[in-house]
Amino acid sequence: MSSIHDVANRAGVSTSTVSNVLNGRNDRMKSETLARVEAAIRELKYRPNTSARQLKTGHTPLLGVLVPSMANPMYGFIAREIETLAQERHGFRIMIGNTYRDRDKEARFFDDLMAHGVRGVIIISSLIDEQHFERAGERGLVMVSYDRRATPGVASVIDHVSVDSFESARLATEHLIAQGHKHIAYVTPSGRTMSRNEKINGFLHAARVGGVEATAQVVEGLPVDEYGDSMMSELGRMQAGLLAKAKQRPTGVVGVNDILAFGLMAGFRDAGLSVPRDVSVVGIDNVFLSGLMNPAMTSVRVPVPEMAQVMVERVMSRLVDADIPTGEFMFQPTLVMRDSVAPPPRPSRRGSR
């Protein structure tokens, strides 16, 4: 079994330099030195002595990752990126929990993680209220919140890393309008979260700027949070069936995320409609399944790898230095155009069903 001395000898550095890399203290390190140390760690398959580290630091080399539900492949993608970075760069493994967007469950997870010696956690939550985050942070839990913005003008003890949800929905809606769609809809579950509110605002803004505000509608379906994201696609299928029967059927529809948009495509197909000949569909997240759909689904990409890197490095840096100030990091989405969007059908073909 390789030791830290073996890694130092292979990389041609001191053991303290290797220790700095393992603990995320590499801000002032030359890039070529960091690359040599990381290469030596991989080549020797070195893993730190976790028992010794725990005795020295008082916490376990584990990172908590809390997600709404692993039923949504988007959250699995995020967790995988976090796990890879935490393990390969810092020797940390992750513990995953499903919170189902429940404030009390999130708070209990914080207590459980701290009781097991975990001192760093990344939580994917866009609940409006984050007071339980602040309380856990004040107790010493180093936290990064994904998918929510910091409250303007309020100092926070946690980092916030998010994608511009307003822009995500705006891009999707603007694309439909650019293709000539005037009767458009945005479909989302009921139960508002911060990111859902921002997406609705982005949709309405694009409709207003595009001159189709009068024929744009926000469709809120039944809440799915208590069942987890596994119900999201069924909600999309159900709403598509209702929209297909509407007197003025929309020709373009945006889903709150890809999973719901998959359900929209299935529901329109069940109703005898063709995507995109009769109705165009756009999702948000760009999970890998989007490109495998038939037709391949246009979606808005969230830059998960880049966001995961910032989240992991923020946690690791603040575990080492508690005086590092917290910050807010905003990432921009991009539109990935595929085959689920086309110009709207001619009025004679659309009809009402």
The CATH architecture that domain 4-160+304-332 belongs to is 3-Layer(aba) Sandwich (3.40)
Note the maximum CA span of the chain.
Answer: 77
The pLDDT assigned to 301 comes to 98
Tokens representing residue 121 in the block: 């956690």
Token pair recorded at residue 309: 């890197």
Query: Which of 240, 254, 352, 345 lies closest to 297 in space, CA to CA?
Result: 254
- What local confidence, expressed as pLDDT, does residue 22 receive? 75
d(CA 258, CA 254): 9
Which long-range contacts does 195-198 make (Cβ < 8 Å, 24+ apart)? Answer: 195/126, 195/147, 195/148, 195/162, 195/165, 196/126, 196/165, 196/256, 198/149, 198/164, 198/165, 198/166, 198/169
Q: Reduced to 3 states, what is the DSSP secondary structure of residue 237?
A: helix
Nearest to 219 by CA among 241, 96, 110: 241
Q: Any idea which fold 165-302+336-350 has?
A: Rossmann fold (3.40.50)
Which residue has tokens 């038939």?
294
User: What is the per-residue pLDDT for 259?
Assistant: 95
- Please write the tens of the pLDDT for every residue from 179-223: 999 999 999 998 777 889 999 999 999 999 999 999 999 999 876
pLDDT of 344: 97
Residue 291: per-residue pLDDT = 96
Tokens of 20: 């700095």
Determine the pLDDT at residue 249: 96
Q: Give the model's pLDDT for residue 226.
A: 46
Residues of the chain with CATH 3.40.50.2300: 4-160+304-332, 165-302+336-350
Residue 282 carries which DSSP code? Answer: E
pTM for this prediction: 0.80
* Residue 245: Cβ within 10 Å count: 11
Burial class of residue 87 (count of CB atoms within 10 Å of its CB; 0-12, 13-18, 19+): middle
| pLDDT value of residue 292 | 95
Find out whether 147 and 170 touch, Cβ atoms under 8 Å.
no
Query: In angstroms, rounded to a whole number, what is the distance separating the alpha carbons of residues 93 and 80?
Result: 11
Compute the distance between CA of residue 153 and CA of residue 141 in angstroms, rounded to an integer.
22
Burial of 297 (0-12, 13-18, 19+ CB in 10 A): buried
Q: In the chain, which stretches have pLDDT less than 70?
A: 1, 23-27, 47-59, 126, 223-229, 348-353
Q: What is the pLDDT of residue 337?
A: 98
CA-to-CA separations, 296 to 126, 276, 314, 342, in angstroms, rounded = 29, 10, 36, 12
Backbone angles phi, psi at 187, to 5 degrees: -110, 130
